[in-house]
Protein backbone atom coordinates (compact mmCIF):
# COMPACT_ATOMS: atom_id res chain seq x y z
CA UNK A 1 0.00 0.00 0.00
CA UNK A 2 1.31 3.43 -0.93
CA UNK A 3 2.11 6.00 1.72
CA UNK A 4 -0.25 8.97 1.62
CA UNK A 5 1.33 12.37 2.21
CA UNK A 6 -1.02 15.23 3.06
CA UNK A 7 0.37 18.71 2.54
CA UNK A 8 -0.47 21.98 0.82
CA UNK A 9 -0.38 21.44 -2.94
CA UNK A 10 1.34 24.67 -4.02
CA UNK A 11 4.32 25.05 -1.68
CA UNK A 12 7.35 23.07 -0.58
CA UNK A 13 7.11 24.10 3.07
CA UNK A 14 7.59 21.50 5.76
CA UNK A 15 6.14 18.81 3.55
CA UNK A 16 9.20 18.93 1.29
CA UNK A 17 11.38 17.37 3.98
CA UNK A 18 9.11 14.33 3.86
CA UNK A 19 8.87 14.34 0.05
CA UNK A 20 12.66 14.24 -0.23
CA UNK A 21 12.88 11.15 1.96
CA UNK A 22 10.16 9.36 0.02
CA UNK A 23 11.74 10.30 -3.30
CA UNK A 24 15.26 9.36 -2.25
CA UNK A 25 14.07 5.93 -1.15
CA UNK A 26 11.97 5.59 -4.32
CA UNK A 27 9.03 4.77 -2.07
CA UNK A 28 5.53 4.26 -3.38
CA UNK A 29 3.58 7.31 -2.21
CA UNK A 30 0.76 9.63 -3.16
CA UNK A 31 0.98 13.39 -2.64
CA UNK A 32 -2.74 13.47 -1.95
CA UNK A 33 -3.58 17.16 -2.25
CA UNK A 34 -1.63 17.45 -5.50
CA UNK A 35 -3.50 14.68 -7.28
CA UNK A 36 -6.98 15.65 -6.10
CA UNK A 37 -8.75 18.56 -7.80
CA UNK A 38 -9.97 19.75 -4.40
CA UNK A 39 -6.53 19.60 -2.82
CA UNK A 40 -7.04 21.99 0.10
CA UNK A 41 -10.50 20.56 0.72
CA UNK A 42 -9.03 17.09 1.08
CA UNK A 43 -6.69 18.36 3.80
CA UNK A 44 -9.43 20.22 5.62
CA UNK A 45 -11.85 17.32 5.60
CA UNK A 46 -9.22 14.95 6.91
CA UNK A 47 -8.22 17.31 9.73
CA UNK A 48 -11.87 17.77 10.74
CA UNK A 49 -12.93 14.16 10.34
CA UNK A 50 -14.39 13.04 13.71
CA UNK A 51 -13.45 9.45 12.90
CA UNK A 52 -9.75 10.35 13.24
CA UNK A 53 -9.05 9.70 16.92
CA UNK A 54 -5.59 11.29 16.87
CA UNK A 55 -5.88 14.30 14.57
CA UNK A 56 -2.90 16.34 13.47
CA UNK A 57 -2.87 20.05 14.22
CA UNK A 58 -1.88 20.93 10.65
CA UNK A 59 -0.18 19.44 7.59
CA UNK A 60 2.09 17.72 6.90
CA UNK A 61 0.84 14.37 8.05
CA UNK A 62 1.40 10.91 6.66
CA UNK A 63 -1.03 8.03 6.45
CA UNK A 64 0.32 4.49 6.41
CA UNK A 65 -2.67 2.20 6.56
CA UNK A 66 -4.26 2.77 9.96
CA UNK A 67 -1.33 4.84 11.21
CA UNK A 68 -1.42 8.64 10.89
CA UNK A 69 1.68 10.61 11.86
CA UNK A 70 1.93 14.41 11.96
CA UNK A 71 4.87 16.83 12.29
CA UNK A 72 7.76 16.56 9.84
CA UNK A 73 10.33 15.34 12.36
CA UNK A 74 7.96 12.67 13.71
CA UNK A 75 7.05 11.55 10.20
CA UNK A 76 10.73 11.18 9.32
CA UNK A 77 11.45 9.31 12.54
CA UNK A 78 8.65 6.92 11.55
CA UNK A 79 9.76 6.57 7.93
CA UNK A 80 13.50 6.44 8.56
CA UNK A 81 13.77 2.74 9.49
CA UNK A 82 11.16 1.76 6.91
CA UNK A 83 12.95 3.53 4.08
CA UNK A 84 16.50 2.65 5.10
CA UNK A 85 17.30 6.29 5.81
CA UNK A 86 18.54 5.92 9.38
CA UNK A 87 21.08 3.57 11.00
CA UNK A 88 19.79 0.56 12.90
CA UNK A 89 21.17 1.36 16.35
CA UNK A 90 18.94 3.17 18.83
CA UNK A 91 21.58 5.74 19.73
CA UNK A 92 22.06 6.63 16.06
CA UNK A 93 18.31 6.88 15.50
CA UNK A 94 17.87 9.22 18.44
CA UNK A 95 20.85 11.29 17.28
CA UNK A 96 19.39 11.54 13.77
CA UNK A 97 16.10 12.68 15.27
CA UNK A 98 17.90 15.28 17.37
CA UNK A 99 19.58 16.71 14.26
CA UNK A 100 16.20 16.80 12.53
CA UNK A 101 14.68 18.73 15.41
CA UNK A 102 17.53 21.25 15.20
CA UNK A 103 16.83 21.68 11.50
CA UNK A 104 13.18 22.26 12.40
CA UNK A 105 14.33 25.03 14.75
CA UNK A 106 16.16 26.79 11.90
CA UNK A 107 13.13 26.42 9.64
CA UNK A 108 10.93 28.08 12.24
CA UNK A 109 13.40 30.95 12.60
CA UNK A 110 13.60 31.37 8.82
CA UNK A 111 9.81 31.64 8.68
CA UNK A 112 9.79 34.22 11.45
CA UNK A 113 12.07 36.56 9.50
CA UNK A 114 9.13 37.53 7.31
CA UNK A 115 6.40 36.99 9.92
CA UNK A 116 7.99 38.04 13.22
CA UNK A 117 4.83 39.45 14.84
CA UNK A 118 1.93 37.28 13.72
CA UNK A 119 1.20 34.74 11.01
CA UNK A 120 -2.20 36.36 10.56
CA UNK A 121 -0.60 39.61 9.38
CA UNK A 122 0.91 40.08 5.95
CA UNK A 123 4.62 40.70 5.50
CA UNK A 124 3.82 44.27 4.49
CA UNK A 125 2.12 44.84 7.85
CA UNK A 126 5.27 43.95 9.78
CA UNK A 127 8.13 45.04 7.54
CA UNK A 128 10.10 47.07 10.14
CA UNK A 129 10.04 44.16 12.58
CA UNK A 130 10.90 41.73 9.78
CA UNK A 131 13.93 43.81 8.84
CA UNK A 132 15.26 43.68 12.40
CA UNK A 133 14.56 39.96 12.74
CA UNK A 134 16.13 39.09 9.38
CA UNK A 135 19.23 41.17 10.10
CA UNK A 136 19.92 39.17 13.25
CA UNK A 137 19.08 35.89 11.51
CA UNK A 138 21.55 36.57 8.71
CA UNK A 139 24.27 38.01 10.92
CA UNK A 140 24.10 35.58 13.82
CA UNK A 141 21.72 32.68 13.52
CA UNK A 142 22.62 31.25 10.10
CA UNK A 143 26.35 31.25 11.00
CA UNK A 144 25.68 29.66 14.40
CA UNK A 145 23.55 26.87 12.98
CA UNK A 146 25.83 26.19 10.02
CA UNK A 147 28.86 26.05 12.32
CA UNK A 148 27.10 23.38 14.38
CA UNK A 149 26.23 21.32 11.31
CA UNK A 150 29.84 21.69 10.16
CA UNK A 151 31.06 20.35 13.52
CA UNK A 152 28.68 17.40 13.29
CA UNK A 153 29.90 16.55 9.80
CA UNK A 154 33.59 16.83 10.63
CA UNK A 155 33.20 14.77 13.80
CA UNK A 156 31.50 12.04 11.77
CA UNK A 157 32.98 11.18 8.37
CA UNK A 158 32.90 14.64 6.79
CA UNK A 159 30.25 13.58 4.29
CA UNK A 160 27.25 12.38 6.31
CA UNK A 161 25.69 13.71 9.47
CA UNK A 162 25.18 10.23 10.93
CA UNK A 163 26.96 6.99 10.05
CA UNK A 164 28.38 6.35 6.61
CA UNK A 165 25.21 6.34 4.49
CA UNK A 166 22.56 8.81 3.45
CA UNK A 167 20.00 9.56 6.17
CA UNK A 168 16.91 11.69 6.24
CA UNK A 169 18.91 14.25 8.23
CA UNK A 170 21.29 14.70 5.27
CA UNK A 171 18.32 15.23 2.97
CA UNK A 172 16.80 17.74 5.36
CA UNK A 173 20.03 19.70 5.68
CA UNK A 174 20.15 19.84 1.89
CA UNK A 175 16.62 21.25 1.84
CA UNK A 176 17.42 23.77 4.56
CA UNK A 177 20.46 25.06 2.69
CA UNK A 178 18.53 25.13 -0.58
CA UNK A 179 15.77 27.18 1.04
CA UNK A 180 18.18 29.61 2.65
CA UNK A 181 20.03 30.04 -0.63
CA UNK A 182 16.73 31.05 -2.20
CA UNK A 183 15.62 33.37 0.59
CA UNK A 184 18.96 34.86 1.63
CA UNK A 185 21.43 34.19 -1.21
CA UNK A 186 24.03 36.74 -0.14
CA UNK A 187 24.06 35.85 3.54
CA UNK A 188 23.94 32.11 2.88
CA UNK A 189 26.76 32.17 0.31
CA UNK A 190 28.97 34.06 2.73
CA UNK A 191 28.25 31.59 5.52
CA UNK A 192 28.74 28.51 3.34
CA UNK A 193 32.22 29.78 2.45
CA UNK A 194 33.12 29.27 6.11
CA UNK A 195 31.51 25.84 6.30
CA UNK A 196 32.84 23.76 3.38
CA UNK A 197 31.46 20.42 4.55
CA UNK A 198 27.93 21.82 4.73
CA UNK A 199 28.36 23.28 1.26
CA UNK A 200 29.71 19.97 -0.07
CA UNK A 201 26.81 18.01 1.43
CA UNK A 202 24.36 20.35 -0.27
CA UNK A 203 26.10 20.09 -3.64
CA UNK A 204 26.57 16.33 -3.40
CA UNK A 205 22.99 15.62 -2.40
CA UNK A 206 21.70 17.45 -5.45
CA UNK A 207 23.75 15.10 -7.65
CA UNK A 208 22.65 11.85 -6.04
CA UNK A 209 21.07 9.60 -8.68
CA UNK A 210 18.07 9.00 -6.44
CA UNK A 211 17.23 12.72 -6.50
CA UNK A 212 18.39 14.07 -9.86
CA UNK A 213 15.17 13.15 -11.66
CA UNK A 214 12.94 14.40 -8.84
CA UNK A 215 14.64 17.78 -8.54
CA UNK A 216 14.28 18.32 -12.28
CA UNK A 217 10.65 17.18 -12.39
CA UNK A 218 7.33 19.00 -11.87
CA UNK A 219 6.97 17.08 -8.61
CA UNK A 220 9.54 19.47 -7.12
CA UNK A 221 7.49 22.59 -6.46
CA UNK A 222 9.56 25.75 -7.03
CA UNK A 223 10.24 28.03 -4.11
CA UNK A 224 7.71 30.85 -4.00
CA UNK A 225 6.39 33.69 -1.89
CA UNK A 226 3.81 31.58 -0.08
CA UNK A 227 6.21 29.07 1.45
CA UNK A 228 8.49 29.15 4.46
CA UNK A 229 11.51 30.36 2.51
CA UNK A 230 10.58 33.66 0.85
CA UNK A 231 12.76 35.96 -1.20
CA UNK A 232 12.59 39.55 -0.04
CA UNK A 233 15.85 41.19 -1.25
CA UNK A 234 15.64 43.90 1.40
CA UNK A 235 15.96 41.23 4.13
CA UNK A 236 19.11 39.61 2.74
CA UNK A 237 21.74 40.71 5.20
The Cα–Cα gap between 204 and 14 comes to 22
The Cα–Cα gap between 199 and 10 comes to 28
The pLDDT confidence band at residue 23, using thresholds 50, 70 and 90, is: very high
Judged against a pLDDT cut of 80, whether residue 81 lies above it is answered with: yes
pLDDT for the residue numbered 237: 75
What are the structural domains of the chain? 3-83 (3.40.30.10), 90-209 (1.20.1050.10)
- Looking at per-residue pLDDT, the higher value among 16 and 53 belongs to 16
The Cα–Cα gap between 106 and 103 comes to 5
- Looking at per-residue pLDDT, the higher value among 47 and 19 belongs to 19
pTM to 2 decimal places: 0.96
Contacts 24+ apart (CB under 8 A), 203-209: 204/159, 205/166, 205/170, 205/171, 205/174, 206/174, 208/24, 208/166
Alpha helix stretches (DSSP H) within the chain:
15-24, 32-35, 39-48, 72-83, 90-114, 127-136, 142-155, 168-183, 185-192, 196-206, 209-215
Kindly report, residue by residue over 108-166, the tens digit of the pLDDT.
999 999 999 999 999 999 999 999 999 999 999 999 999 999 999 999 999 999 999 99
Q: What is the mean pLDDT of residues 54-58?
A: 91
Judged against a pLDDT cut of 90, whether residue 79 lies above it is answered with: yes
Report the percentage of the chain scoring pLDDT > 90.
94
Kindly report, residue by residue over 158-203, the tens digit of the pLDDT.
999 999 999 999 999 999 999 999 999 999 999 999 999 999 999 9
pLDDT for the residue numbered 37: 83
Amino acid sequence: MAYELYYWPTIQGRGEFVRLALEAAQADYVDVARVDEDGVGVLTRFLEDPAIRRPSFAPPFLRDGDVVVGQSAAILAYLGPRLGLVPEGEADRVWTHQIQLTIADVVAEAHDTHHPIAVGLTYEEQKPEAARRAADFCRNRIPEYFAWFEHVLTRNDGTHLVGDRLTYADLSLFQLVDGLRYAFPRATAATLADNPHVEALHAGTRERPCLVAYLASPRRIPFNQQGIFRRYPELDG
